[in-house]
Structure 1
Amino acid sequence: MNIRGSICALATPYRQDGALDLDGYARLLDYQIAGGTEAVVVAGSTGEAHGLEHEEYETLLAFAVRHVARRVPVIAGTGEASTRKTVRLTRRARELGADAALVVTPYYVRPTQEGLRRHFLEVADQGGLPVIVYNVPARTGCDLLPETLAALRDHPSIVGVKEACADAGRIRDVAALARADFAFLSGDDGTAAAALEAGAAGVVSVVNNLVPRTFRALCDAGRGGDREALARHAAELAPLIAALNCAPNPIPVKAGLAELGLCGAGLRLPLIELAPGPARTRLREALGRLVPLATAA
């Protein structure tokens, strides 16, 4: 499993009646592939995984697998708070055709490091898919430490880590664990350039939903060791990344997708749409500097 480069954490579009918008999802998938995105994540944090009914999760993943048609790898978000549930969902993702599983650390239950080690080993042993470990302490209340990650990387089915902790020391420590069969993927847009410079093999990105070509250029420059181009693309993206920080993900990126005409801005409670005002104006202006807006006056 060679998952590298520019990877999009896909948003999940909804129709006005709240149902899945598969037409919008097809547009988003095609926009990503045309823009050079090298893999897509279905039903991750940005995809509002925990707002999906089980039947909707299956519909969304099966649709993505069919529509992508092996043009790029499809990575399924399968992480749950329970190890048994995570194994069960990972097995189902395999049956639906996913190429790999993105498994977030168990949220809310606050496991120990030993509990985390056993959790990921059991998912790798029993889930049937290559596993990308996902560490995002700001969302889960649980931090997978580098020494625990080092104990996991020898498992043949654990193929990488998406590290969303933006601390410079953490980036350095996780980068030191990377090797040919274990990929370090950044999970934070704001420090993506620094992670690529430190040796990350790629980035699982939110902003990529909106500007896949620019983000692919950033990843190519970083992986190619072109520091000048990396700095230039990072500077181009910085205002948009900053604008996306105006509200919890995926609220702002959904607003941006609506500006591009790819899908509506609707979310599911308790998430609500980004209200009109200065934050939305900044987002629209930053996005408009990089790509044409469908809603331009």
Structure 2
Amino acid sequence: MSRLLTKDDVVGIFPPVPTPFNADESLDIGALRADLQKLLNIPGLTGLCLGGTTGEGYALTPQELQTIIGVAVEESNGKLPIMAGVIATTTADATLRAKLAGEAGAGAVMLTPPMYQSPRDDDLFGYFNDVYEASGMPYIVYNVLPHLPILLPLMTRLAETPGLIGTKESVGGNLDLLGDMIQTLGDKISVTWAHDWQFFMGAAMGASGSVSGLASTFPRLMVAMFNAIQENNVHLAREIHYILYQIPKYISMRNWVGGNKYVINLTGRPVGKCRRPFGEPVGEQAANLKRAVDQAMAWERANLGVDLAA
């Protein structure tokens, strides 16, 4: 069994990994292994997360999640820790996914609140705690649901329990909430930031890292920006921010996952298309993304000396 993660492990740039599919929408394990090897060879990454939003965890069966976690653990071979996304609508389903991920070697899970309805805070507290107690898997809260944000009072309650090791502050939160989380809970849990178009600001405020889509599309640039902020090189961090920020802006116009895969494919990492009904960008969205990606790749080649497509 892999070592279970603590808050000190969920720091830095910890990319989510896309899930490649064959033409018949079955898992493309060969393409997944190839993409994992490219990511594992990027200096400065601190871990990998499979089965989150970027990994289309909402479209995977529990057994498929277990499969891709096992592949990632095998490919990583201890080089980087592996975290599993758990996206479910019931405690039973979330618990099954967490257990299977743990059996496959994941060190923690990224646990999304139940997606479809809006439970009371007491019920949400029970959801997170019940999944932890039944599976034994430490977790970070994936604060991604605008209709069901996990706000400071509930996060504070969860931080008093043994299972919570961090939070991924995404579109369920904002910079104000991020600041409150860092000031109130930063010594107890890892407070990461996943508003991609505002990563510069969140990291400068003290976010401990990112498990975000942009970390998957341009991991080297995200490592460079995060490191520049840690080194108080505001000029460089701000320059990278402006190179990157249009990409998540255009992706978020429609179908985040399809846009993310489209961008990753453009950078030379073939990860295929999404499971239906989610397609890839077309028209103006696709043209804007292509232009922004070309700009970011050119900057990366000129300043970091790497060629993503190589």
TM-score (norm 2): 0.88
Aligned to 2:259: 252
1:83 paired residue number: 91
* Cα distance in structure 1, aligned partners of 2:129 and 2:63: 27
- Which stretches in structure 1 are left out of the alignment for 5+ residues? none
Corresponding position: 1:146 with 2:152: yes
Q: Deviations over 1:67-97 (max 9, x none)?
A: 1112111100124211222222212211110
- Equivalence for 2:181: 174
Q: Which position in structure 2 is the counterpart of 1:206?
A: 213
Equivalent in 251, 259, 271 of residue 278 of structure 2: 271
Match of 2:67 in 1: 59
Change beyond 3 A, Cα 1:85–1:55: closer
**Conserved 8 A contact 2:138-2:164:** yes
User: Aligned residues: percent identity?
Assistant: 23
Residue type matched to 1:171 in 2?
L
Instruction: Please state if 1:16 is matched with 2:23.
Output: yes
Name the aligned partner's letter for residue 250 of structure 2.
A
Distance in 2 between residues matched to 1:256 and 1:230, nearest whole Å: 22
* Preserved CA contact (<8 Å) 2:62 2:97: no
Distance change (3 Å), C-alpha of 1:180 and 1:55? same
Question: How big is the shift at 1:240?
Answer: 2.2
Query: Cα RMSD over matched residues?
Result: 1.9
Q: Are the structure 2 counterparts of residues 293 and 152 from structure 1 closer, same or farther at C-alpha, using a change threshold of 3 Å?
A: closer
Alpha-carbon distance change, 217 to 178 in structure 1, aligned in 2, over 3 angstroms: farther
* 8 Å CA contact 2:58, 2:88 repeated in 1: no
1:287 aligns with 2:293: yes
Residue 113 of structure 1 corresponds to 121
Structure 1 residues 149 and 225, CA gap change in structure 2 (3 angstroms):
farther
Residue-by-residue CA offset, 1:183-218 (whole Å, 9 max, x unaligned): 001122112111111111001110222211101111
Question: In the alignment, which of 262, 268, 279 is matched to residue 261 of structure 1?
Answer: 268
- Residue type at the aligned position of 1:150: T
How far the C-alpha of 1:294 sits from its partner, in A, is 4.8
- Structure 1 counterpart of 2:47, which letter? A
Aligned match of 2:222 in 211, 215, 218? 215
Aligned to 2:48: 40
Classify the secondary structure of the residue corresponding to 2:245.
Answer: helix
Q: May I ask how many residue pairs the two structures share in their alignment?
A: 292
Task: Give 1:135's aligned residue.
Answer: 143
Distance 1:131 1:91, change over 3 A: same
Contact conserved, 1:24 with 1:262, CA < 8 A, in 2? Answer: no
Unaligned runs of 5+ in 2: 1-5, 298-306
Paired letter, 2:184: L
Q: Please, which moves more after superposition, 61-70 or 31-40? A: 31-40
Runs (4+) off by over 6 Å: none
**CA–CA distance in structure 2, aligned partners of residues 167 and 50 of structure 1:** 23
CA contact (8 A) 1:3 1:73 kept: no
Deviation at 1:16, TM superposition (A): 2.3
Task: Call closer, same or farther: CA 1:80–1:42 in 2, change over 3 Å.
Answer: same
Cα distance in structure 2, aligned partners of 1:247 and 1:31: 28
Residue 257 of structure 1 contacts residue 265 of structure 1 at CA under 8 Å; is this kept in 2? Answer: no
- From 74, 77, 80, give the equivalent of 1:72: 80
- Corresponding position of 2:57: 49
| Aligned amino acid, residue 95 of structure 2 | V
Q: In the alignment, residue 49 of structure 1 is paired with which amino acid?
A: G
State whether residues 57 and 87 of structure 2, in contact with CA within 8 Å, keep that contact through their aligned partners in structure 1.
no
Give me the whole-angstrom Cα distance separating, in 2, the residues matched to 1:210 and 1:79: 21
The within-5 A match list for 1:224-239 is 224-239=231-246
1:186 and 2:193 matched:
yes
Corresponding residue for 1:122? 130
- Per-residue deviation at 1:264? 4.3
Q: What amino acid does structure 1 have at the position aligned with 2:58? A: H
Shift of 1:114: 1.3
Q: Deviations over 1:137-166 (max 9, x none)?
A: 23xx31211111011112222101111135
